[in-house]
Amino acid sequence: MDAYLIPAVDGVAYGLLLFVVAAGLTLAFGVGDVLNLAHGTLFAFGAYAAAKVSDGSWGSLALAVLIGTATAAAGGALLSVLLVPLAGRGHLAQALLTFGVALVVGDLLVTVFGPDELPITVPASLDRPVDIAGHSYPGYRLAFIGVAALIAVALYVVVARTRAGSLVRATVDDRDMVATLGVDPFKVRTGVLAVGGALAGLAGALGAPIIGPGPRVADLVLLLSLVVVVLGGMGSIGGALIAAIAVGEIQTVGVTAQPTLAPFLMFGAMAVVLALRAGGLLKSRRVAT
Protein backbone atom coordinates (compact mmCIF):
# COMPACT_ATOMS: atom_id res chain seq x y z
CA MET A 1 0.00 0.00 0.00
CA ASP A 2 2.85 2.29 0.99
CA ALA A 3 4.21 2.26 -2.56
CA TYR A 4 1.03 3.98 -3.73
CA LEU A 5 1.17 6.84 -1.23
CA ILE A 6 3.15 9.13 -3.54
CA PRO A 7 1.01 8.39 -6.62
CA ALA A 8 -2.09 8.88 -4.45
CA VAL A 9 -0.92 12.34 -3.40
CA ASP A 10 -0.05 13.01 -7.05
CA GLY A 11 -3.59 11.96 -7.89
CA VAL A 12 -4.97 14.66 -5.62
CA ALA A 13 -2.82 17.28 -7.37
CA TYR A 14 -3.83 15.93 -10.78
CA GLY A 15 -7.48 15.81 -9.74
CA LEU A 16 -7.53 19.37 -8.44
CA LEU A 17 -5.90 20.51 -11.67
CA LEU A 18 -8.59 18.73 -13.69
CA PHE A 19 -11.26 20.20 -11.47
CA VAL A 20 -10.22 23.76 -12.31
CA VAL A 21 -10.04 22.95 -16.03
CA ALA A 22 -13.37 21.09 -16.03
CA ALA A 23 -15.03 23.93 -14.11
CA GLY A 24 -14.20 26.22 -17.03
CA LEU A 25 -15.57 23.71 -19.54
CA THR A 26 -18.75 23.26 -17.51
CA LEU A 27 -19.26 27.01 -17.21
CA ALA A 28 -19.08 27.48 -20.98
CA PHE A 29 -21.32 24.47 -21.58
CA GLY A 30 -23.82 24.99 -18.80
CA VAL A 31 -24.28 28.74 -19.05
CA GLY A 32 -22.99 29.72 -22.49
CA ASP A 33 -24.48 26.63 -24.12
CA VAL A 34 -21.28 25.99 -26.08
CA LEU A 35 -19.39 22.71 -26.01
CA ASN A 36 -15.90 24.15 -26.33
CA LEU A 37 -13.71 21.45 -27.88
CA ALA A 38 -10.83 23.97 -27.92
CA HIS A 39 -10.79 24.02 -24.13
CA GLY A 40 -7.71 21.79 -23.95
CA THR A 41 -5.93 24.17 -26.31
CA LEU A 42 -6.61 27.06 -23.94
CA PHE A 43 -5.00 24.99 -21.18
CA ALA A 44 -1.99 24.59 -23.46
CA PHE A 45 -1.72 28.41 -23.68
CA GLY A 46 -1.14 28.52 -19.94
CA ALA A 47 1.26 25.57 -19.96
CA TYR A 48 3.39 27.04 -22.75
CA ALA A 49 3.40 30.42 -21.00
CA ALA A 50 4.83 28.69 -17.92
CA ALA A 51 7.47 26.88 -19.98
CA LYS A 52 8.61 30.03 -21.78
CA VAL A 53 8.29 32.72 -19.10
CA SER A 54 8.90 31.07 -15.76
CA ASP A 55 12.69 31.01 -15.15
CA GLY A 56 12.85 30.11 -11.47
CA SER A 57 11.99 33.46 -9.95
CA TRP A 58 8.70 34.20 -8.22
CA GLY A 59 8.13 37.24 -10.40
CA SER A 60 8.48 35.23 -13.59
CA LEU A 61 6.04 32.61 -12.27
CA ALA A 62 3.52 35.34 -11.51
CA LEU A 63 4.06 36.80 -14.96
CA ALA A 64 3.60 33.36 -16.55
CA VAL A 65 0.34 32.87 -14.67
CA LEU A 66 -0.81 36.32 -15.75
CA ILE A 67 0.11 35.78 -19.40
CA GLY A 68 -1.30 32.25 -19.51
CA THR A 69 -4.58 33.29 -17.91
CA ALA A 70 -4.94 36.42 -20.03
CA THR A 71 -4.17 34.75 -23.38
CA ALA A 72 -6.50 31.86 -22.64
CA ALA A 73 -9.27 34.27 -21.58
CA ALA A 74 -8.72 36.25 -24.78
CA GLY A 75 -8.81 32.99 -26.73
CA GLY A 76 -12.15 32.11 -25.15
CA ALA A 77 -13.58 35.52 -25.99
CA LEU A 78 -12.28 35.27 -29.55
CA LEU A 79 -14.05 31.91 -29.92
CA SER A 80 -17.29 33.61 -28.94
CA VAL A 81 -16.75 36.18 -31.70
CA LEU A 82 -16.00 33.42 -34.20
CA LEU A 83 -19.33 31.81 -33.27
CA VAL A 84 -21.32 34.93 -34.18
CA PRO A 85 -21.88 33.99 -37.85
CA LEU A 86 -23.31 30.66 -36.69
CA ALA A 87 -26.26 32.28 -34.90
CA GLY A 88 -29.32 30.05 -35.18
CA ARG A 89 -27.33 27.12 -36.54
CA GLY A 90 -27.59 24.90 -33.49
CA HIS A 91 -25.15 23.50 -30.98
CA LEU A 92 -23.52 21.00 -33.26
CA ALA A 93 -22.23 23.64 -35.67
CA GLN A 94 -20.77 25.55 -32.73
CA ALA A 95 -19.04 22.50 -31.30
CA LEU A 96 -17.60 21.62 -34.72
CA LEU A 97 -16.25 25.14 -35.19
CA THR A 98 -14.43 25.01 -31.86
CA PHE A 99 -13.11 21.60 -32.92
CA GLY A 100 -11.71 23.02 -36.17
CA VAL A 101 -10.15 25.93 -34.30
CA ALA A 102 -8.59 23.48 -31.81
CA LEU A 103 -6.95 21.55 -34.67
CA VAL A 104 -5.58 24.71 -36.29
CA VAL A 105 -4.30 26.32 -33.11
CA GLY A 106 -2.89 23.02 -31.83
CA ASP A 107 -0.84 22.70 -35.01
CA LEU A 108 0.34 26.32 -34.73
CA LEU A 109 1.46 25.71 -31.15
CA VAL A 110 3.58 22.77 -32.27
CA THR A 111 5.04 24.90 -35.08
CA VAL A 112 5.96 27.69 -32.68
CA PHE A 113 7.10 25.68 -29.67
CA GLY A 114 8.36 22.50 -31.34
CA PRO A 115 7.22 18.89 -31.24
CA ASP A 116 8.79 18.02 -27.88
CA GLU A 117 7.48 18.33 -24.35
CA LEU A 118 9.03 21.41 -22.79
CA PRO A 119 10.66 21.35 -19.36
CA ILE A 120 9.26 23.64 -16.67
CA THR A 121 11.36 25.69 -14.28
CA VAL A 122 9.74 26.37 -10.92
CA PRO A 123 10.89 28.84 -8.23
CA ALA A 124 13.98 27.48 -6.49
CA SER A 125 12.42 27.51 -3.05
CA LEU A 126 9.71 25.12 -4.32
CA ASP A 127 12.09 23.05 -6.41
CA ARG A 128 13.14 20.72 -3.64
CA PRO A 129 11.69 17.66 -2.04
CA VAL A 130 9.74 17.78 1.19
CA ASP A 131 9.15 14.88 3.51
CA ILE A 132 5.68 13.29 3.84
CA ALA A 133 5.38 10.21 6.03
CA GLY A 134 8.92 9.20 5.30
CA HIS A 135 8.65 9.75 1.55
CA SER A 136 10.25 12.62 -0.24
CA TYR A 137 7.82 14.56 -2.36
CA PRO A 138 8.34 17.45 -4.84
CA GLY A 139 7.71 20.71 -3.02
CA TYR A 140 6.07 22.33 -6.01
CA ARG A 141 3.37 19.70 -6.17
CA LEU A 142 2.57 20.10 -2.51
CA ALA A 143 2.34 23.85 -2.98
CA PHE A 144 0.21 23.26 -6.06
CA ILE A 145 -2.22 21.14 -4.06
CA GLY A 146 -2.58 24.02 -1.62
CA VAL A 147 -3.09 26.65 -4.31
CA ALA A 148 -5.46 24.51 -6.36
CA ALA A 149 -7.47 23.70 -3.24
CA LEU A 150 -7.74 27.43 -2.61
CA ILE A 151 -8.96 27.99 -6.16
CA ALA A 152 -11.48 25.16 -5.75
CA VAL A 153 -12.77 26.67 -2.52
CA ALA A 154 -12.95 30.10 -4.15
CA LEU A 155 -14.93 28.63 -7.06
CA TYR A 156 -17.27 26.92 -4.63
CA VAL A 157 -17.83 30.12 -2.67
CA VAL A 158 -18.50 32.12 -5.83
CA VAL A 159 -20.97 29.59 -7.19
CA ALA A 160 -22.69 28.76 -3.91
CA ARG A 161 -22.68 32.11 -2.14
CA THR A 162 -22.69 35.02 -4.55
CA ARG A 163 -25.41 36.54 -6.71
CA ALA A 164 -23.44 35.84 -9.88
CA GLY A 165 -23.07 32.25 -8.71
CA SER A 166 -26.77 31.81 -8.09
CA LEU A 167 -27.44 33.13 -11.61
CA VAL A 168 -24.99 30.57 -12.94
CA ARG A 169 -26.72 27.77 -11.05
CA ALA A 170 -30.16 28.93 -12.18
CA THR A 171 -29.02 29.07 -15.80
CA VAL A 172 -27.50 25.61 -15.70
CA ASP A 173 -30.81 24.29 -14.36
CA ASP A 174 -32.91 26.16 -16.87
CA ARG A 175 -31.31 27.51 -20.00
CA ASP A 176 -34.18 29.90 -20.72
CA MET A 177 -33.15 31.88 -17.65
CA VAL A 178 -30.69 33.84 -19.78
CA ALA A 179 -33.48 35.04 -22.05
CA THR A 180 -35.66 36.13 -19.15
CA LEU A 181 -32.85 38.18 -17.64
CA GLY A 182 -32.84 40.51 -20.61
CA VAL A 183 -29.05 40.23 -20.93
CA ASP A 184 -27.50 40.15 -24.39
CA PRO A 185 -26.82 36.41 -25.00
CA PHE A 186 -23.66 37.28 -26.93
CA LYS A 187 -22.26 39.06 -23.89
CA VAL A 188 -23.16 36.13 -21.66
CA ARG A 189 -21.49 33.67 -24.03
CA THR A 190 -18.40 35.83 -24.47
CA GLY A 191 -18.19 36.30 -20.71
CA VAL A 192 -18.44 32.63 -19.82
CA LEU A 193 -16.08 31.52 -22.61
CA ALA A 194 -13.54 34.10 -21.41
CA VAL A 195 -13.88 33.08 -17.77
CA GLY A 196 -13.81 29.40 -18.75
CA GLY A 197 -10.71 30.08 -20.82
CA ALA A 198 -9.13 31.97 -17.93
CA LEU A 199 -9.66 28.97 -15.65
CA ALA A 200 -8.07 26.67 -18.25
CA GLY A 201 -5.12 29.07 -18.74
CA LEU A 202 -4.64 29.49 -15.01
CA ALA A 203 -4.67 25.73 -14.52
CA GLY A 204 -2.24 25.36 -17.42
CA ALA A 205 0.24 27.92 -16.06
CA LEU A 206 0.18 26.58 -12.51
CA GLY A 207 -0.16 22.92 -13.46
CA ALA A 208 2.48 22.80 -16.20
CA PRO A 209 4.89 20.83 -13.94
CA ILE A 210 2.11 18.20 -13.57
CA ILE A 211 0.66 18.09 -17.11
CA GLY A 212 3.39 19.67 -19.17
CA PRO A 213 3.16 21.47 -22.49
CA GLY A 214 3.61 19.28 -25.55
CA PRO A 215 1.84 18.30 -28.74
CA ARG A 216 -0.54 15.89 -26.94
CA VAL A 217 -1.46 18.08 -23.99
CA ALA A 218 -4.52 19.74 -25.52
CA ASP A 219 -6.14 16.42 -26.50
CA LEU A 220 -5.33 14.82 -23.16
CA VAL A 221 -6.70 17.69 -21.10
CA LEU A 222 -9.82 17.94 -23.28
CA LEU A 223 -10.43 14.20 -22.95
CA LEU A 224 -9.95 14.13 -19.18
CA SER A 225 -12.07 17.20 -18.54
CA LEU A 226 -14.85 15.78 -20.74
CA VAL A 227 -14.75 12.61 -18.66
CA VAL A 228 -14.92 14.72 -15.50
CA VAL A 229 -17.94 16.63 -16.84
CA VAL A 230 -19.69 13.41 -17.85
CA LEU A 231 -18.93 11.79 -14.48
CA GLY A 232 -19.63 14.84 -12.36
CA GLY A 233 -22.80 15.96 -14.04
CA MET A 234 -23.80 19.51 -14.72
CA GLY A 235 -24.12 22.19 -12.13
CA SER A 236 -23.02 20.04 -9.22
CA ILE A 237 -19.70 21.46 -8.15
CA GLY A 238 -19.27 18.78 -5.51
CA GLY A 239 -19.92 16.05 -8.06
CA ALA A 240 -17.35 17.58 -10.40
CA LEU A 241 -14.76 17.69 -7.60
CA ILE A 242 -15.27 14.03 -6.69
CA ALA A 243 -15.16 13.05 -10.36
CA ALA A 244 -11.98 15.08 -10.93
CA ILE A 245 -10.18 13.51 -7.97
CA ALA A 246 -11.33 10.05 -9.10
CA VAL A 247 -10.00 10.64 -12.62
CA GLY A 248 -6.79 12.09 -11.13
CA GLU A 249 -6.29 8.95 -9.04
CA ILE A 250 -6.98 6.71 -12.05
CA GLN A 251 -4.37 8.67 -14.02
CA THR A 252 -1.75 8.31 -11.26
CA VAL A 253 -2.33 5.35 -8.93
CA GLY A 254 -4.23 3.47 -11.62
CA VAL A 255 -1.58 4.00 -14.27
CA THR A 256 1.22 3.10 -11.84
CA ALA A 257 -0.45 -0.08 -10.62
CA GLN A 258 -2.35 -1.28 -13.70
CA PRO A 259 -1.42 0.74 -16.79
CA THR A 260 -3.67 -1.35 -19.04
CA LEU A 261 -6.58 -1.34 -16.68
CA ALA A 262 -6.59 2.42 -16.10
CA PRO A 263 -8.45 3.42 -19.29
CA PHE A 264 -10.90 0.57 -18.72
CA LEU A 265 -11.54 2.01 -15.26
CA MET A 266 -12.40 5.30 -16.94
CA PHE A 267 -14.80 3.51 -19.34
CA GLY A 268 -16.31 1.62 -16.44
CA ALA A 269 -16.77 4.70 -14.27
CA MET A 270 -18.50 6.51 -17.14
CA ALA A 271 -20.73 3.53 -17.87
CA VAL A 272 -21.74 3.14 -14.22
CA VAL A 273 -22.42 6.83 -13.70
CA LEU A 274 -24.39 7.23 -16.92
CA ALA A 275 -26.43 4.13 -16.14
CA LEU A 276 -27.17 5.24 -12.58
CA ARG A 277 -28.13 8.70 -13.68
CA ALA A 278 -30.53 8.10 -16.52
CA GLY A 279 -31.80 11.59 -15.76
CA GLY A 280 -29.51 14.40 -14.68
CA LEU A 281 -27.27 15.81 -17.34
CA LEU A 282 -28.64 13.68 -20.12
CA LYS A 283 -32.27 14.29 -19.50
CA SER A 284 -31.89 18.03 -19.32
CA ARG A 285 -29.75 18.08 -22.45
CA ARG A 286 -32.27 16.01 -24.33
CA VAL A 287 -34.73 18.85 -24.00
CA ALA A 288 -32.12 21.49 -24.71
CA THR A 289 -30.63 20.13 -27.91
Per CB under 8 A, residues contacting another protein are 35, 37, 85-86, 88-93, 95-97, 99-108, 111, 219, 222-223, 226-227, 229-230, 259-260, 262-264, 266-267, 270-271, 274-275, 278, 281-282, 285-286, 288-289
Q: How far is the CB of 130 from another protein (least distance, A)?
A: 31
Alpha-carbon span 274 to 120, nearest angstrom: 37
Q: Which is nearer to another protein, 65 or 253 (CB)?
A: 253
Alpha-carbon span 87 to 257, nearest angstrom: 48
Q: Which is nearer to another protein, 102 or 208 (CB)?
A: 102
Phi and psi of 233, rounded to 5°? 75, 175
Q: How far is the CB of 37 from another protein (least distance, A)?
A: 8
Q: Tell me if 275 sits within 8 A of 264, measured CB to CB.
A: no
HEC per residue, 229-288: HHHHCCCCHHHHHHHHHHHHHHHHHHHHHCCCHHHHHHHHHHHHHHHHCCCHHHHHHHHH
Q: Which amino acid is at 185?
A: P
CA atoms lying within 13 Å on the CB side of residue 194: 11
Q: Which is nearer to another protein, 57 or 289 (CB)?
A: 289
Measured from the Cβ of residue 64, the count of other Cβ atoms closer than 10 Å reads 26
Q: How far is the CB of 220 from another protein (least distance, A)?
A: 8
Q: How far is the CB of 101 from another protein (least distance, A)?
A: 6
Q: How far is the CB of 131 from another protein (least distance, A)?
A: 32
Q: How far is the CB of 154 from another protein (least distance, A)?
A: 26
Q: Which is nearer to another protein, 38 or 151 (CB)?
A: 38
Paired strand residues for 181 = none
Q: Which is nearer to another protein, 104 or 157 (CB)?
A: 104
Q: Which is nearer to another protein, 104 or 158 (CB)?
A: 104
Radius of gyration of the chain (CA): 19
Q: How far is the CB of 188 from another protein (least distance, A)?
A: 18
Q: Which is nearer to another protein, 70 or 221 (CB)?
A: 221
Q: Nearest CA to 159 among 171, 144, 176, 146?
A: 171
Q: Which is nearer to another protein, 145 or 229 (CB)?
A: 229
Task: Provide CB contacts within 8 A for 22, sequence distance 6+.
Answer: 225, 228, 229, 232, 240, 243, 244
Q: Tell me if 213 sits within 8 A of 47, measured CB to CB.
A: yes
Kind and range of the H or E element at 221? helix 217-232
Q: How far is the CB of 62 from another protein (least distance, A)?
A: 33
Q: CA separation (Å) from 282 to 26, 29, 93, 233, 241?
A: 14, 13, 20, 9, 19
